[in-house]
Amino acid sequence: MCGIIGCAGRGDSTLDTLLHGLSKLEYRGYDSAGVALSDDDLTVRRKAGKLDALETSLGADPLQNGSGSVSDNPVGIGHTRWSTHGPPTDGNAHPHRDCTGRVAVIHNGIIENYQELRDELAASGHEFESDTDTEVVPHLIETALDSGMAPEEAVRDSIDRLEGAYAICVVIAGVDQVFAARNDSPLVLGVSDDAYFFASDVPAFREFTDKVIYLDDGEFAVINQNGYRVTDSNGAVVEKTVNTIEWDPEETGKSGYDHYMLKEIHEQPRALRQCLQGRVDELAGEVILEELGDVNPDAVQFVACGTSYHAALYGAQLFRSIGIPAQAYIASEYATSVPPIDDDLVIGVTQSGETADTLSALREARRRGAKTMAVTNVVGSTAARECDEALYIRAGPEIGVAATKTFASQLVTLALLSLWIDGEEDNRDVIAGFRDLASNVQAILDDTNARKIAEEYHDSDAYFFIGRGLHHPVALEGALKFKEISYEHAEGFPAGELKHGPLALVTDNTPVFAVVTGEGEQARKTIGNVKEVEARDAPVIAVTDGQSDVERYADHVLEIPESTPRTAAVLANVQLQLVSYYAAAQLGRPIDKPRNLAKSVTVE
């Protein structure tokens, strides 16, 4: 959600560096973009719409200062905005300036006391040009500068007055530095031999360096062409660890695919191998999670949002199956209505490790004395650093807003965690089921008929997804994927719930996707639910491994290989991802950047 890039030391390539960084942050979701360069003067350009609108604007009217050009070595900041305060307009786009035009600020997050500050500033003569909360920041800095404060002191003093979540970058005319601070919103610092960067996520500067520093809440940082400095809220220098990013910048490209989402669906076999590598010993029947300490919970509470919440539902079922009470909670509800915790382990499932609602839930759990664990994809993320334990899903970088390979890796990681905590010797057969998982996913990718089914039903009134047991979270996820990238109405249900209300919506133009695997009681009961919708003339698409006779009642079949119940859920999900992708493609939707959505939701 929103994207930040700042740089110093890139010389006359500064503007190109900012634009490149913004292009790598488009996946986060945004509706306007802007840049600012600072040397003796400050020059700003911002535009509503996508990045190409800004680039077109710059082509027609290049950035230049009052003397008609920009120096050979400016500092700069850039931003992509996801609207919270005010609609997506040129005036609401970042960077925002003060009255004098010498201060420019970009900001992710929400400043909760902005109205109070704005009223105070307006009463003292400041004029505002936007609807945003961010605009109070440059005016606060302007006031501090006018009082005689030095630039860094003025920025610090202004940030100290803010309440809420923020990652902020500031440039000031005549100052060859970029100032930055974070609180409850991600911000990283990139370090190369001759240049330094700020960004909301590593891909923004990965092409220029693989060295990164993860800033913590309350820290303040400064970069210029000669180096960087990180201090705490009191101004004391903080020695930070410089981490090395292991993935190659080419991993964030499309590699010839039409969309990142399709590429990442096809990357799932590799992602799953990475997830499993070194963690399963099939001969011994053991799961090995060396990164974890002593974890032996009496009960587990999962907190998560969106796709990660569906993974949490799956994980909670697995924990209950080994005799450990477990419940999955929507993080935004948990944070404001916390259930009794006692000695429960609280597990936050978050792809980015920066999801604001999940972080709030984890912090509230810790405040109440709970032990916490992050199940996340991002090494060094806020959740990973703040929790007592961190378990990485190892999916690799995911750019598409709609989570695909990270969901599959979350499911497998949670399955491994439940087996590791269980520690029973009779898990050998279950562990063996992971051996063929990656190749089974590849078989689906090679032979799927999802495109044909998506094309046949692309003009339906609505789409229902049903499943029982471990397939219920898969049904919910299938519906979420479908609605978020196709913009069509889709709902997921426990299969048995259709008859308790939703069946009233079933017609001959509402396809029902039913996940049915195995031949046990759950499969038989789900087939009964399939017959119920078939009797109402609804088309049925069965996602099945062929062990039941659901094909007899289905209009179409999406086949998956035979597997264990745990891995069948992963395989069924791949078919539903492909259906969603091809349906959205048939409708011409912007698949990688669905409207109103963001990859990492860093506001509550």
pTM comes to: 0.77
Report the C-alpha gap between 137 and 130 in whole angstroms: 12
Q: What is the band of 49 on the pLDDT scale with cuts at 50, 70, 90?
A: confident
The β-bridge partners of 242 are none
Digit-coded pLDDT (tens) for 314-366: 999 999 999 999 999 999 999 788 888 888 999 999 998 988 899 999 999 99
Q: Do 352 and 479 belong together in one domain?
A: no
CATH number at residue 69: 3.60.20.10
Domain with 10 in it: 3-250
What number is the average pLDDT over the span 38-53? Answer: 90
Pairing mode of beta strands 75-81, 32-38: antiparallel
**pLDDT at res. 29:** 67
Residue in this structure with the two tokens 């924990």, named with its chain if needed: 319
Instruction: Name the more confident of 499 and 318.
Output: 318
- Closest by Cα among 523, 574, 570 to 549: 523
Mark whether 599 is an active-site residue.
yes
Burial of 91 (0-12, 13-18, 19+ CB in 10 A): middle
- Closest by Cα among 342, 359, 341 to 305: 359
Q: Do 430 and 444 belong together in one domain?
A: no
Mark whether 499 is an active-site residue.
no
Q: Do 207 and 130 belong together in one domain?
A: yes
Report the C-alpha gap between 92 and 86 in whole angstroms: 7
Which of 2, 169, 275, 305 is flagged as catalytic? 2
The β-bridge partners of 349 are 304, 375
Q: Do 524 and 424 belong together in one domain?
A: no
The β-bridge partners of 582 are none
Q: Which helix (H) or strand (E) holds 389?
A: strand 389-392
**pLDDT at res. 249:** 67
- The residues near 199 (Cβ < 8 Å, ≥ 6 apart) are 3, 4, 5, 6, 21, 25, 187, 188, 190, 205
Question: Distance between the two ends of the chain, CA-based, in angstroms?
Answer: 11
Q: Do 336 and 396 belong together in one domain?
A: yes
Q: Do 443 and 548 belong together in one domain?
A: yes
Report the C-alpha gap between 177 and 163 in whole angstroms: 24
Instruction: Name the more confident of 12 and 573.
Output: 573
Residues 308/351, Cβ–Cβ less than 8 Å:
yes
- The residues near 382 (Cβ < 8 Å, ≥ 6 apart) are 186, 217, 353, 354, 359
**pLDDT at res. 600:** 56
Three-class SS state of 169: strand
The β-bridge partners of 48 are 32
Digit-coded pLDDT (tens) for 363-399: 999 999 999 999 999 888 889 999 999 999 999 888 8
Q: Do 73 and 195 belong together in one domain?
A: yes
Digit-coded pLDDT (tens) for 297-327: 999 999 999 999 999 999 999 999 999 999 9
Which of 47, 371, 483, 599 is flagged as catalytic? 599
Q: Do 532 and 389 belong together in one domain?
A: no
**Does residue 95 have a cis bond before it (omega within 30 degrees)?**
yes
- Closest by Cα among 415, 376, 381, 418 to 395: 376
- Looking at the predicted structure, is the pLDDT value of residue 66 above 80? no
Report the C-alpha gap between 599 and 602 in whole angstroms: 9
CATH number at residue 274: 3.40.50.10490
Digit-coded pLDDT (tens) for 173-218: 999 999 999 988 889 999 999 999 999 888 899 999 999 999 988 9
- Closest by Cα among 17, 131, 24, 126 to 83: 131
Q: Which of 381, 413, 435 is the last residue of a domain?
A: 435
Tell me the two tokens of residue 5. 């890039």
Digit-coded pLDDT (tens) for 264-297: 999 999 999 999 999 988 888 889 998 998 898 9
How many CB atoms neighbour CB 426 within 10 A?
8
Instruction: Name the more confident of 342 and 220.
Output: 220
The β-bridge partners of 513 are 465, 541
Residues 292/389, Cβ–Cβ less than 8 Å:
yes
Residues 389/373, Cβ–Cβ less than 8 Å:
yes
**What are the start-end ranges of the H helices in 68-129?**
114-123
Report CA-CA distances (Å) from 163 to 82, 160, 233: 20, 8, 14
Q: Do 292 and 208 belong together in one domain?
A: no
Domain count, the chain: 3
Q: Which of 413, 435, 457 is the last residue of a domain?
A: 435
Report CA-CA distances (Å) from 503 to 470, 493, 514: 22, 11, 14
Report the C-alpha gap between 590 and 256 in whole angstroms: 17
How many CB atoms neighbour CB 207 within 10 A?
14
Residues 334/358, Cβ–Cβ less than 8 Å:
no
Report the C-alpha gap between 324 and 319 in whole angstroms: 5
Digit-coded pLDDT (tens) for 144-157: 999 999 999 999 99
Q: Which of 404, 435, 466 is the last residue of a domain?
A: 435
**pLDDT at res. 598:** 61
The β-bridge partners of 170 are 105, 179
Q: Do 165 and 269 belong together in one domain?
A: no
> What percentage of the chain reaches a pLDDT higher than 70?
95
Residues 97/141, Cβ–Cβ less than 8 Å:
no
Tell me the two tokens of residue 273. 């191998």
What number is the average pLDDT over the span 20-25? Answer: 88
In the predicted model, what is the mean pLDDT of the chain?
A: 90
**pLDDT at res. 1:** 58
Tell me the two tokens of residue 397. 């970088």
Report the C-alpha gap between 462 and 491 in whole angstroms: 8
- Per-residue DSSP letter, 22: H
**CA dihedral sign, ordered 522, 525, 526, 527:** positive
SS (H, E, C) 4-43: EEEEECCHHHHHHHHHHHHHHCHHHCCCEEEEEEECCCEE
Residues 470/568, Cβ–Cβ less than 8 Å:
yes
Residue in this structure with the two tokens 């959205």, named with its chain if needed: 584
Tell me the two tokens of residue 57. 């604007």
Q: Do 446 and 378 belong together in one domain?
A: no
Digit-coded pLDDT (tens) for 407-465: 999 999 999 999 999 877 667 778 888 989 999 999 999 999 999 999 999 889 999 99
Report CA-CA distances (Å) from 117 to 96, 143, 540: 16, 12, 57
Q: Which helix (H) or strand (E) holds 19?
A: helix 14-24
Rg of the chain over CA atoms, in angstroms?
Answer: 25
What number is the average pLDDT over the span 585-591? Answer: 93
Q: Do 74 and 201 belong together in one domain?
A: yes
